[in-house]
Structure 1
Amino acid sequence: MGDNGLVSDTDRPEDRPAAPAATPAPSAVSSPDEVTIRRAPKFGVFIVGGAVLGFLATLLVVTLTMDIDRGDQQDASFGTLVGYFSLWGVTIGAFAGAVVAIVLDRVFARRAARLTAERVEVEPAEETVDGEVEDHGDVTGPVERTDR
C-alpha cells in the first residue's frame, strides 16, 4: 500500500503493466450458400459385407450338401468345393451388396434437405513486427555462424 492508505498500488494506472498492443482484427467476408444435407451409404462397406455374406452362404450350402449321395464320384474334397463355389458366392454377394447400397443411396437422396448456410471467408491481418528488420540479401552459400 502507498502513503495515503486509501488506494492500493494495483489501482494506480501508472503502476499497472502496459497492455499488449492491440492487433488488428482479421477481415471476414460472408456469403449465403444453398447446401444439400443427406445421408449417403458407404459403398465399400456394403460390397465387402455382401461378399462376406456370399462366402458364408457358400460355406453353409457346401456343408449341407456334402453328405448327398453322388454315387461313386467322390473326388472333390470339402476345401475344393468351398474354394470353387465361393468364387460364385463372393461375386454374387458383392453384387447384391452394391445393389443394396445403390437403392439406399436413392432413398436417402429423396429425403435430402436443402438449407442455406453462411460461408465465412477470413483473411488474416498483416503481421506486424516490432523493431527493425534487417535485410541480408539473398544468401547463396552455406551460412556460417560468427557468434561462438
Structure 2
Amino acid sequence: MSSSAAHRIETAQVRRSPRYTVFLLAGAVLGILAAFVLTFAFGGGENESATTGVSYSTTQVFGFICLFAIPVGVAVGGVVALVLDRSLARRAREVRVEREVITIDDAE
C-alpha cells in the first residue's frame, strides 16, 4: 500500500449569498397579509356581486384575493433576493486556499 500527497495553494472567490427560500416565503407571507388587508378594507363579502348576482362570504373573498396576492408576493420576494445577490456579488473577494490531495493506492 502506497500513498502520495500533492500540496497546492490556489485562489478562490468568497462572497455572501441570500437564502432564496427565506425571501420567497417572506413574499408569500406578505401576499397573505396584503390579501387579508384588502379583504377587510373594501368590505369583504357584504354586497352582492354586480356581474354574477351572488353574495360571497368573507373567507371566499379572502381566498380569491390570495390567488393573486401570494404569487405576486413570491415574485416580489424573488426579485428582492436577486437584487441583493447582485449587490453582494460586487463585494466578492479573493482568498488563498491551501489544497491537499492524498491518493492511496490499495493495490497489493
Q: TM-score range by the shorter chain?
A: 0.7 to 0.9
Residue 122 of structure 1: which of 91, 94, 102 is its match?
A: 102
Higher percent of residues as helix? 2
Two-structure CA RMSD over aligned residues (Å)? 2.4
Higher percent of residues as strand? 2
1:63-116 CA-to-partner distances (Å, cap 9, x unmatched) read 23226975x557111111111111111011001000100011011101111112
Q: Is the aligned partner of 1:50 residue 2:27? A: yes
Distance 1:98 1:31 in 2: 39
More deviation, 74-83/97-106: 74-83
User: Aligned residue for 1:93?
Assistant: 73
Distance 1:49 1:109 in 2: 22
1:54-73 alignment to 2 at 5 Å?
54-66=31-43, 70=47, 73=49
Distance 1:102 1:48 in 2: 14
TM-score, structure 1 normalization: 0.60
Distance 2:44 2:89 in 1: 48
1:114-142 CA-to-partner distances (Å, cap 9, x unmatched) read 112121101136487xxxxxxxxxxxxxx
Q: Does 1 or 2 have the higher relative contact order (CA < 8 Å, sep 6+)?
A: 2
Which aligned runs of 4 or more in structure 1 are off by greater than 4 angstroms? 67-70, 125-128
Unpaired runs of at least 5, structure 1: 1-22, 129-148
TM-score, structure 2 normalization: 0.80
Unpaired runs of at least 5, structure 2: none
Of the two, which has the highest radius of gyration?
Answer: 1
How many correspondences in the alignment?
Answer: 104
